[in-house]
Structure 1
Amino acid sequence: MNKIALFILLFLIIINSNAQENTWSLEQCIALGLENSLEVKIKQIEIKRTQKKHNSIANNLLPTVGFDANQSYNFGSTIDPSTNGRVSSNIQYDNFFLSARMNLIDFNKIATSQVTKLDIERAKVEQEVLENEYKLQIAESFFTALYTQELLKIQETQFKNAKLNLERIEKEESIGSKPKSDLYDMQLSVAIEEKNIITTKQLAQIQKAQLFQLLNANQMDIESCILLPYLNAESIERNEGFSNPKLKLASLTYELGQKRIKQFRGNNLPTLSAFYNYSTFYYKPLNQPNVIVNSFSNQFADNKNQQVGLQLNVPIFNGFRNAKNVKALKFENEKEKVALNLEDLKLKQQIEIEKEKIKQITFLKTKLLVIKELNEKTFQTSQSKFEAGKIEAVVFSSVKNQFLQAEYDVLKNNLQYQFTILKLNLIKYDQL
């Protein structure tokens, strides 16, 4: 008997622990969403691709080394490589050429390296923008489902009271102390409340399903899922201003445009290069057995030639295309500067709107609490009158509905306040 009881106890503990594991906070939902988001994964791959494309300034200025080898056959009148004189013969000629060139000063390469470096930062900020917008979507979906879930709790609590009143009316009607009309009114009221509970349950399941679809977690047990209230209801204040990723992206885009102008201007600036050339050759007359030539190794050593030098390339005229490109990029950069100012203005306006919402919600909260308190007192008084038979069931149901509406309003106001604080923190600092 003790073993059976122990087994049942362990079974209940396991069920209870599993039920507790199916609770979800907003932070957990956001973490799961960011982990599963395919859009975020695409951006991460894009960042890696951009990093691979980047070459540092030192890499861009590294020397290029090339090796050329060719073998040719000259027939008839040709030049004897040993004497540089024209002879009438057939000669095999092998030429080997090694060259190295390094740009010491190349403004275009320097600007290109700066551009690709900014491309990496821009790709990272684009991911931050995507994640910030995704967090806002998750938060809005979470609070929508949370409101319906908490609304269901209020309805179920009130429904318990309605069933108790119905049982009382049924007993009193059976002994003749209450008329049939009161019983019908109460039955109708209970049926309506039950229908409302079913509707709210269905809506809660749909909203939770939409939330977890947004998180790419479609295998969740929606019916047992419980959303935890968001606890942080304080706005973050900093002295250094905003750190909104959209504003950072607009600023980087403007800076990137300036670097691209320098990149194209570099095509009009001088380039200083150092070079080194090494060459040698081997020759052999064909079909002339009496002619004696040095061996391949001896000719390779004797015929070698080396060249070291500096080369300055000063563009004088390279067409109007580059100048037109620079002018077009200037206009594009001006547009990016206006876009930056526009993004800053939109951000400040949005922050002001959210702050105004917080003020209004805070002001309304006091009024709603007063209304709820008065409705609760009225409901308690009406409950006593109804039990004493001093008011009809219709009047009592009306009072109860007013109290229920007051509870809805307080709940909605509280969740709106939490969501607005959260939204403000995400907009200003990209933090919960």
Structure 2
Amino acid sequence: MQSFVLLAIMVFASGCFIVTDSNAQTSSGAVKHISMQEAIARALHKNNQIRANQYAVRKAGWDRKNAWSQLLPDISLNSRYTWIDDSTYVLRDFFRQNIRLFFPNIPESVEIPQTVFQTSYFSSVDISAPLFNAAILNGLFIANANVRMAEEYGTSMKDNITFQVVSSYLNVLKGLDVLKLQHDYLELSQLNYEKAERLFGAGRYSKTEALRWKVEYQQQKSQVATSRTVLHTNQSLLRRLLNMDLQEEIEIVDQIPAQIKNESDRIAILTEDALLKMVQLSDDALISANAALAAGRANEDISRLLYKNSYAAYLPQVTASYSHSWQENNTFALDDYSPKVFSINLSVPLFTGFKNLTSVKSAYYEHKKTEELFQDQLKNIRHILTEIINRLMDLRTLRELTKVEVEYNEHNYKVVAQQKERDLVSNIEFIDAKLNAQNARLNAINAEYDFISSMVELYYLLGRLGAIVE
């Protein structure tokens, strides 16, 4: 009796310490409780992949501006300074210096213009603009498709991060529920083991019965250790998704969000036809709903545009150019003589050593590869959706079964416990009843969370995850 009172005092003191320590942490602000919605918002705000995609969208936007800029003319101011050595200058200007030797009839009053200068300057303003270039025109469509793909990929990434956070959050909740249950049974096993040791010492239990309780106690300790490891792994993954610093301490709100719980209850009562109808979508409807498929479709569009663009190498190019220059002389001053030249250039490729043909073939097979990969992605998503529906139908039946099993095994455990007090059942029968009750509750927890997780995955693939987490 004294040992029992002492044990009760120790448990009460430990409980007071835990409560006091928890309150101290809360009051000091060291530990922050975070809901699922807050976790999602934090992940979307701080996740490095999300930030990287934001830069990718901006890059695609500037690439589109660059594609449009290819249609604008190029204007350049060119200036050249030239100096030649004495001997070269004499050779080049020899004819002008000695022109009267060859043409003696030229009057002395006629000044022979200088065309060669030892130090000379030349300036011009040149303008060129494309009039027709198929590669530039196709580049506009490709740039627009790249922007759309970057945006679709960003949406897909946000949906995926949200799904990972929700799944990790649910896994942590499941781990907490399992660990709490196993802790309760561990404490009960410890009390039963200590009681068995006392009864064995008093000669009322055999060594086999005492060892049986010891084995059961060690099994409970092992299960608690395993569950704690799984919980820590899931918590570590959640911390990584939330991009948490090492010094940050948070705890999740210890309950399934009501919106998710209510939706899972609604899904659980749907008929088989109603569940199947949820995933019986046309290709266009499924692609529109699923952001990953939308990004894949955008990538397929880009490959098709690149294939079409490869034919631009066969087409002519037309460019216009205009040059306003000043005669080259030995002064910086711009003289009155400034030739103006306007030209239109037509370039038609006749033979390029089969470079055009090989480029077209390469782009064609790249496009066909992208098409096949996208079709495989689409079929894979449909297969996964069908598997999820089948899983949901199995899990909802299992969930109802586990509820009945919990009710039965807990009632049976109470009956066996009462019979054990009157020595009407053996020690092994009592332990089996206890383990059956524990396993029934564990199965119920697993079935509940597995059903909810499957529903979350279904809504993620259908692009409806926001409806249950916002």
Q: Same fold (TM over 0.5)?
A: yes
* Equivalent of residue 68 in structure 1, options 42, 61, 78: 78
For 1:255 and 1:38, locate their aligned partners in 2 and report how far apart those are by CA, in whole Å: 27
Higher mean C-alpha deviation, range 156-165 or range 260-269? 156-165
Residues 1:379 and 2:413 are matched in the alignment? yes
Query: How much identity, in percent, do the aligned residues show?
Result: 14
For 2:244 and 2:63, locate their aligned partners in 1 and report how far apart those are by CA, in whole Å: 34
Q: CA deviation at 1:29?
A: 3.9
For 1:308 and 1:124, locate their aligned partners in 2 and report how far apart those are by CA, in whole Å: 44
Which stretches in structure 2 are left out of the alignment for 5+ residues? Answer: 1-18, 83-88, 100-109, 268-277
* Equivalent of residue 430 in structure 2, options 393, 396, 401: 396
Instruction: Name 1:179's counterpart in structure 2.
Output: 204
Which stretches in structure 1 are left out of the alignment for 5+ residues? Answer: 1-8, 285-294
From the superposition, tell whether residues 241 and 32 of structure 1 become closer, same or farther in structure 2 (CA, over 3 Å): same
From the superposition, tell whether residues 94 and 16 of structure 1 become closer, same or farther in structure 2 (CA, over 3 Å): closer
Instruction: Name 1:327's counterpart in structure 2.
Output: 361
Q: CA deviation at 1:254?
A: 1.4
For 1:167 and 1:324, locate their aligned partners in 2 and report how far apart those are by CA, in whole Å: 82
Q: CA deviation at 1:227?
A: 5.1
* Equivalent of residue 384 in structure 2, options 350, 364, 367: 350
Q: Are the equivalent residues in 2 in contact too, given 1:25–1:228 (CA < 8 A)? A: no
Higher mean C-alpha deviation, range 203-212 or range 62-71? 203-212
For 2:54 and 2:335, locate their aligned partners in 1 and report how far apart those are by CA, in whole Å: 54
For 2:366 and 2:315, locate their aligned partners in 1 and report how far apart those are by CA, in whole Å: 22
What amino acid maps onto 1:52 in structure 2? Answer: W
- CA deviation digits over 1:256-303, x for unaligned, max 9? 11211332322333334343321222646xxxxxxxxxx986x713x1
- CA deviation digits over 1:226-274, x for unaligned, max 9? 6543541537969743432331232112111121133232233333434
- TM-score after normalising by structure 2: 0.72
* Equivalent of residue 106 in structure 1, options 133, 146, 158: 133
Residues 1:241 and 2:286 are matched in the alignment? yes
Instruction: Name 2:102's counterpart in structure 1.
Output: none
Q: Are the equivalent residues in 2 in contact too, given 1:205–1:222 (CA < 8 A)? A: no
> What SS is found at the alignment partner of 1:281?
strand
Residues 1:417 and 2:451 are matched in the alignment? yes
From the superposition, tell whether residues 140 and 376 of structure 1 become closer, same or farther in structure 2 (CA, over 3 Å): same
Where do residues 224-303 of structure 1 align in structure 2 (5 Å cutoff)? 228-231=255-258, 232-233=260-261, 234=263, 240-242=285-287, 243-281=289-327, 283=329, 300-301=335-336, 303=337
What amino acid maps onto 1:408 in structure 2? Answer: L
For 1:50 and 1:201, locate their aligned partners in 2 and report how far apart those are by CA, in whole Å: 46
> What SS is found at the alignment partner of 1:55?
helix
* Equivalent of residue 201 in structure 1, options 228, 248, 252: 228
Cα root mean square deviation, aligned? 4.1
Instruction: Name 2:177's counterpart in structure 1.
Output: 150
Residues 1:23 and 2:48 are matched in the alignment? no
Higher mean C-alpha deviation, range 362-371 or range 244-253? 244-253
Q: CA deviation at 1:402?
A: 0.5
Residues 1:115 and 2:128 are matched in the alignment? no
> What SS is found at the alignment partner of 1:98?
strand
What amino acid maps onto 1:179 in structure 2? Answer: R
For 2:174 and 2:247, locate their aligned partners in 1 and report how far apart those are by CA, in whole Å: 20
For 1:322 and 1:10, locate their aligned partners in 2 and report how far apart those are by CA, in whole Å: 78
What amino acid maps onto 1:336 in structure 2? Answer: T
From the superposition, tell whether residues 54 and 383 of structure 1 become closer, same or farther in structure 2 (CA, over 3 Å): same
- TM-score after normalising by structure 1: 0.77
Larger helix percent: 2
What amino acid maps onto 1:315 in structure 2? Answer: V
> What SS is found at the alignment partner of 1:279?
strand
For 2:465 and 2:37, locate their aligned partners in 1 and report how far apart those are by CA, in whole Å: 11
Q: Are the equivalent residues in 1 in contact too, given 2:313–2:349 (CA < 8 A)? A: no
Q: Are the equivalent residues in 2 in contact too, given 1:56–1:113 (CA < 8 A)? A: no
Q: Are the equivalent residues in 2 in contact too, given 1:76–1:88 (CA < 8 A)? A: no
> What SS is found at the alignment partner of 1:373?
helix
Q: Are the equivalent residues in 1 in contact too, given 2:35–2:252 (CA < 8 A)? A: no
Instruction: Name 2:95's counterpart in structure 1.
Output: 77
For 2:301 and 2:453, locate their aligned partners in 1 and report how far apart those are by CA, in whole Å: 34
For 2:50 and 2:125, locate their aligned partners in 1 and report how far apart those are by CA, in whole Å: 48
For 2:47 and 2:115, locate their aligned partners in 1 and report how far apart those are by CA, in whole Å: 77
Higher mean C-alpha deviation, range 382-391 or range 225-234? 225-234
From the superposition, tell whether residues 206 and 331 of structure 1 become closer, same or farther in structure 2 (CA, over 3 Å): closer
- CA deviation digits over 1:75-111, x for unaligned, max 9? 212599xx99788986765432211122233221111
From the superposition, tell whether residues 263 and 368 of structure 1 become closer, same or farther in structure 2 (CA, over 3 Å): same
Q: Are the equivalent residues in 2 in contact too, given 1:351–1:424 (CA < 8 A)? A: yes
Q: Are the equivalent residues in 2 in contact too, given 1:99–1:275 (CA < 8 A)? A: yes
* Equivalent of residue 239 in structure 2, options 188, 205, 212: 212
For 2:434 and 2:114, locate their aligned partners in 1 and report how far apart those are by CA, in whole Å: 121
